[in-house]
A and B are shown apart, each in its own frame.
Chain A
Amino acid sequence: MTLILALAIGVLIGSGLWLLLRPRTFQVICGLQLLSYGVNLFIFGVGRPVVGAPPVMQKAGFVDPSAYADPVPQALVLTAIVISFATTALFLVVLLAARGATGTDHVDGRERRP
């Protein structure tokens, strides 16, 4: 399970990096999206994900932490999901405004000189 997840993270990050270095704004926004999936899965993975652990505790008594998934990476990722949505939205609007103002969707605001 961990090996598959690790490979998946690798593919996501690799595709994201490639897109991040592309010249078109839409490519960069897709790249950031892929990177955030990859990074979120990685943070989540640091908590040693387990299959079938109860997500919610019982209401009383002694709690054995090893029986549950680590909640801290989950809380971090939950925050990261919302924030990455916000940055995506902001980037989208900035790229739309830049496209309107400069007439091109190149990240530098002008086409590369031939």
Chain B
Amino acid sequence: MIAENLLTLLVVLPFLGAVLAATMPDEARDALAAAAAMTMLAMLGVLFALQGWVAEGGTVASSVRWLDSLGLNLRFRIDGFSWLMMVIVAGIGLMVVIYARYYMGPQEAFSRFYALILAFTGAMSGVLMSGNIILLAVSWELTSVVSFLLISYWHQRPEARRGARVALSVTVAGGLCLLVAMLMLGHVAGSYELDVVLASGAQVQAHPLYPTILTLTLLAAFTKSAQVPFHFWLPNAMAAPTPVSAYLHSATMVKAGVFLLVRFFPVLGGTEPWFIVVVGTGMITMTLGGIVALIKQDLKGLLAYSTISHLGLITALAGIGSPAAIVAAIFHIVNHAVFKASLFMAAGIVDHETGTRDMRRLSGLRHWMPETTVLAVVAAAAMAGVPLLNGFLSKEMFFEAATAWNNDSLLDAALPYIATFASMFSVAYSLRFIHTVFFGPRATDLPKMPPHEPPAAMRRPLELLVLICLGVGIFPQLLLGGVLRDAALAVLGEATPEFSLKLWHGFNVPLMMSLAAFIAGTLIYVLGRSWLNSRAGDEAGPGRFEALLAYEWVIQAVTVTMPRRLHALTTATSLQGQLLAVVLIAIAAAVAVIPGTVWWPSSPVFGLPESVFAMLWGLGALCAVGTAWQAKYHRFAALVMLSGVGLMTVMSFAWLSAPDLAVTQLVVEITTTILLLLGLRWLPQRNADIPGDNDWPSRARRSRDLVIAIIGGGGMAAISYAVMAAPSVPSVGDWFLRNAYGEGGGTNVVNVILTDFRAFDTLGEIVVLGIVALTVFALLRRFRPAPESAHPPKPQEGDVSLEDMIFVPALLMRWMFPVTVMLAAYFFLRGHDLPGGGFAAGVTLAIGLTLQYIATDVRWIEARMVVLPIRWIAFGVCLAAVVGCGSWLFGYPFLTAHAQYVTFPIVGRVPAATAMVFDLGVFAVVLGSVTLIVISIAHQSLRVGGHRSRPPADIAAAQAADIAAARAAAKQEAEPAA
């Protein structure tokens, strides 16, 4: 139990630290660094406490149930291998946060930096300790995202943004492959638990999906660990601050790829495709990375390519896959993390103190900074693989694995030679790094002259890391033998070889290979030195690998060229054309159902009610056709006829037993008409014919559209009759009818459906309504009327003013207000049992409010009434959501309603369902939305008149000021009266 809790603590700690750091001010630099360092130290402490449990092949796992049904749980597990990786993450992390405190300038965003570093530590811990392979993929993506944020830390620099983008797209694409691979792997293995998956190697390798899983997993590992041809993101990522490069892009995150290879070796590894692809990629990467590192002029560029090269080495070891090679791979992961982090720190110090990283300008730094020189020389020697240093040991093990293994393939036979060849460059670039920068004559044109040693505290992490290089190099078995064995046990199990890390193995083949590499590497550097140092900058030469160009071509094609082409191909520039296409497709789709339809299921009955109904719709049809005819030149007439059609619809609903619909349609009809009337004011005057309206192309278009309209309308009539005259079939509606009273507690089934059975849909709908209202409001705040509409309309009859004309109607409308309020309350209260409900009530009250606006004017009404539609919307949405959540308290799903009757004195029995409270929310949203929409348009009349000369931005402020003035005036008016 203790171990499980410690493990959970280990996962949670970095995220807690990140939250803490994110909330601290940037000025608290020391406190931030201390908080980050304490977090790392605490993690190290927990790790050492856990060491006993993971020794000798033990594992600790803790599990939190999350999405059981998907097989996805927050399961964490730690064994010897992930323990060792975690020590690297926390240990190097500790060094980096101390170093960064002095590296970053005083004006930097410290809080963001430390928060991100800690968040990365958390994400990386997730990758290393996931006990569930889906969780592993999620954490993997998380590291990519945090890496993106850290590379773009100096987001004002274009190269940082670009580098971050490249790194993100490559690693996230790999992450996607990983997710798919893990889903397949879980499917094949029958579980997403890592322990189960690791134990099902034979089953997976026999499965037909194995090649796909292998390919996708390798893609993920290669993109993350910057293997050719995906390596190009890593040099671009060097735009990050150097502590980030040291931590993410050399010591930890890029190791996630090789971690994945080693971790899943028991499941996926050991087959021939694995050997060929992984070893091949690793060796190509190792060689190419070494060559490019040698010709780089930028210090961090050299280190980046050297990192790529060493990652290639580890990949090749994982590919070889013999027990000894796996041990060597783990060992080299540790060693590389230590010496490369220290080299990056040294490069950062050089950059920090001299102001440049260009090796053509740097020279003779040992005269100014002797201590840093010593540290850098030792670290670089470790990188080159000089004896007595840690790099030597793992490189010897690599040579041994390269020579020892035999599977008769050509690649295997060539392996020792390629290894030696690649190692030459490793020696050469290490030599160049040291010799160019620290030796030679004193540089004369450094941006910062003279350079000097960095603050002692900035050197401490570097010193400690170099000490580890030396310590491991001299006493390997003592310092690392035990934990390395535990790590290997965790991967290999019983196959773990008995090994002892020793400095001296005698004059054997690996030593000869080392010697050859040293001699050849030194020769390469000595002979090529003058050419290397005179070469042009990194921008021009082969430093920009073709892969990056290919990447950019692909990105350009996928995100710019192809979408534009597709857009041009599929988009009409004219709305009419698009609508025409939509209509034609709809008609064509309807044509497809013609065969097999019974068009005349029963003959119509015709009696007195039918003839009245026919007269009703004869009028309706006239109105509809009239609207279509007049909407161009006589908008007002068209609008009147349109509402005529609306009234016919209302009457049809009422006639055909749908009182709810009739009520709602009626009030919505009124509002829509008011709205369109308000809009008419801003449309262009249309007194004369539009030019070209009667020429042949226009007439041809109209004839074509008339034909389409007749076909569409006729078809729709036929389909409607075929459906409506057919005998009814049992539907879900019967269930609602049977259960509305029993389960929903209401007798108005339509209302019960809306507020209870399908309340979630209604919630979504009122949210949409609120969004639309807010959109209307926002659009109209910056409304700019066309110039010819921007003056007040002239009264049409000569001497009768508007006030006189509207006097009597205005009085009536004011008197109607209490009645409307009463009607709305009545609709609302009876909604559950009788026709009515929140929708109808909301619109009714909104109409009442709108009438007041029409009766007087905006200023008069707003001086006397508080109209806050946005708050009503907010209140309604919140109320509906809270009522829905309330059912959780009683253990029911979201929006489960409860219904009962309450008896009030005098009033009698009143239905009191929670659905009514929900309906109150609906009511508030509808009221607020409708009011907001209508009065937003009504407010536009304030723009004309005295406000035209002001810039539009001031209008909102001006409106507020006007309203305040009107309120004051109203008060003054009222006072004398009192």
User: Is B575 interfacial (CB 8 A cutoff)?
Assistant: yes
A75 to B664 CA separation, bound complex (whole angstroms):
11
A20 contacts across to B, CB distance below 8 A: 579, 583
B926 at the interface (CB under 8 A from A): yes
The count of chain B contact residues (Cβ–Cβ below 8 Å) is 114
Task: Tell me, in angstroms, the Cα distance from A63 to B740 when the chains sit together.
Answer: 10
Question: A86, B772: Cβ atoms under 8 Å?
Answer: yes
Complex contacts, A94 vs chain B, CB 8 Å: 779
Give chain B nearest CB distance to A92 CB in angstroms: 5
Across the interface, B724 reaches (CB within 8 A) one of A5, A68, A74, A104, namely A5
12 example contacts (A-B, Cβ-Cβ < 8 A) are as follows: A2-B724, A4-B610, A5-B652, A10-B714, A14-B712, A29-B676, A51-B655, A51-B657, A55-B748, A72-B736, A86-B929, A96-B679
A48: which of B638, B724, B772, B775 is its contact (CB, 8 Å)?
A: B724
- Chain B residues with CB below 8 A from A112, complex form: 692
A12 in contact with B656 (CB, 8 Å): no
- Interface contact B779-A55, CB-CB below 8 Å: no
Query: With a CB–CB cut-off of 8 A, which chain A residues contact B628?
Result: 15-16, 18-19, 30-31, 34
Q: Is the CB of A83 within 8 A of B833?
A: no
Of B635, B720, B734, which contacts A26 at CB under 8 A? B635
Bound Cα distance A79, B839 (Å) = 9
Look across to chain A and name the residue whose beta carbon is closest to the beta carbon of B639: A30
> Scoring A residues 64 to 90 as 1 if CB is less than 8 Å from chain B, else 0, what string do you get?
011011111111011101110111111
- Nearest-neighbour CB distance to chain A for B588, whole angstroms, equals 14
- Give the chain B neighbours of A25 by CB distance below 8 A: 683
Contact string against A for B residues 597-635, beta-carbon threshold 8 Å, 1 for contact and 0 otherwise: 000000011000110011001001100110110011001
Knowing that A85-B930, A101-B784 touch, tell me 10 more A-B residue pairs with CB under 8 angstroms.
A5-B617, A6-B724, A22-B632, A30-B642, A49-B657, A53-B657, A71-B749, A92-B676, A100-B783, A105-B683
Closest residue of chain B to A89, judged by CB?
B933
Q: Do residues A50 and B833 form an inter-chain contact, with CB atoms below 8 A?
A: no
What is the chain B residue whose CB lies nearest that of A49?
B656
B648-660 near A? 1/0 per residue, CB < 8 Å = 1100110111111
What CA separation (Å) do A98 and B684 show in the bound complex?
12
The answer on a CB contact under 8 Å between A34 and B720 is no
Give the distance in Å from the alpha carbon of A18 to the alpha carbon of B692 in the complex: 19
Q: For residues 9 through 44 of chain A, which have their beta carbon under 8 Å from a beta carbon of chain B?
A: 9-27, 29-31, 33-34, 37-38, 40-42, 44
Which of B632, B709, B779 makes the CB contact (< 8 A) with A17?
Answer: B709
Q: Are B758 and A89 in contact (CB under 8 A)?
A: no
Complex CA–CA separation, A68 to B739 (angstroms): 13
Task: Check A17/B631 contact, CB under 8 A, given A5-B724, A75-B750, A83-B768.
Answer: no
CB of B107 within 8 A of chain A? no
The 8 Å CB contact of A93, one of B574, B718, B780, is: B780
Do B657 and A55 have beta carbons less than 8 Å apart?
A: yes
Contacts of A101 in B (CB 8 A): 784
A79 touches B761 (CB 8 A): yes
Separation of A55 and B835 alpha carbons in the complex (Å): 8
Beta-carbon nearest neighbor of A67 in chain B: B737
CA A17 – CA B732 in complex, angstroms? 32
The answer to whether B509 has its CB under 8 Å from any CB of chain A is: no
Q: Assuming the A-B contacts A70-B733, A83-B769, A89-B776, are A13 and B642 also in contact, with contact meaning beta carbons closer than 8 angstroms in the complex? A: no
Which residues of chain B from 822 to 837 have any CB-CB distance to chain A below 8 Å in the complex? 833-835
Whether, in the assembled complex, B8 has its beta carbon less than 8 Å from a beta carbon of chain A, the answer is no
Interfacial chain B residues near A47, Cβ < 8 Å: 731, 733
**Distance (Å) between the CB of B765 and the closest chain A CB?**
6
Q: How far is the CA of A91 from the CA of B929 in the complex (A)?
A: 15
A10-B713, A100-B785 known; A15 vs B684 contact (CB < 8 Å): no
Contact of B765 among A26, A33, A77, A82 (CB under 8 A): A82
CA distance A66 to B610 in the complex (A): 22
Rounded to whole angstroms, the CA-CA distance of A95 and B682 in the bound complex is 10
**Which listed residue (B609, B683, B775) contacts A90, Cβ 8 A?**
B775
Nearest neighbor of A87 in chain B, beta-carbon distance = B772
Bound Cα distance from A65 to B785, whole angstroms: 54
Q: CB-CB < 8 A to A74: which residues of B?
A: 658, 660-661, 750
Interface residue ranges of B732-774 to A (CB < 8 Å):
732-734, 736-738, 740-741, 747-750, 753-754, 758, 761-762, 765, 768-769, 772-773
Question: Is B105 among interface residues, defined by CB-CB distance under 8 A?
Answer: no
Please tell me if the beta carbons of A114 and B753 are within 8 angstroms of each other in the complex: no
The proximity string for B residues 769-808 relative to A, scoring 1 for CB distances below 8 Å and 0 otherwise, is 1001101100110011111010000000000000000000
B945 adjacent to chain A (CB < 8 Å): no
Q: Is B672 an interface residue, CB under 8 A from the partner? A: yes
Chain A residues with CB below 8 A from B642, complex form: 30, 33-34
Query: Once the chains are docked, how many angstroms separate the CA of A103 from the CA of B748?
Result: 49
Distance (Å) between the CB of B195 and the closest chain A CB? 50
A47 → chain B, closest Cβ, in Å? 7
Q: Is the beta-carbon distance between A18 and B709 smaller than 8 angstroms?
A: yes
Contact of A100 among B604, B658, B725, B784 (CB under 8 A): B784
B610 and A21 contact, CB distance less than 8 A:
no
List the A side residues contacting B936 at CB < 8 Å.
93
Residue ID in chain B nearest A29 by CB atoms: B676
* A4-B613, A89-B675, A108-B575 given; A52·B776 CB < 8 A: no
- Contact partner of B768 (CB less than 8 A), chosen from A13, A48, A49, A86, is A86
B691: Cβ under 8 A from any A Cβ = yes
Cα distance A86–B671 when bound, in Å?
Answer: 11
Question: Given the complex of chains A and B, what is the CA–CA distance between A8 and B646 in angstroms?
Answer: 12
Q: Mark B661-686, 1 if CB is under 8 A from A, else 0.
A: 10011001001100110010011100
CA separation between A11 and B715, bound complex, in Å? Answer: 10
> Is A68 in contact with B737, judged by CB distance below 8 angstroms?
yes
A85/B779 contact (C-beta < 8 A), A30-B631, A51-B657, A72-B733 known? no
Complex contact A14–B714 (CB within 8 A): yes
Cβ of B950 to closest chain A Cβ, rounded Å: 16
Closest chain-A Cβ to B789's Cβ sits at a distance in Å of 8
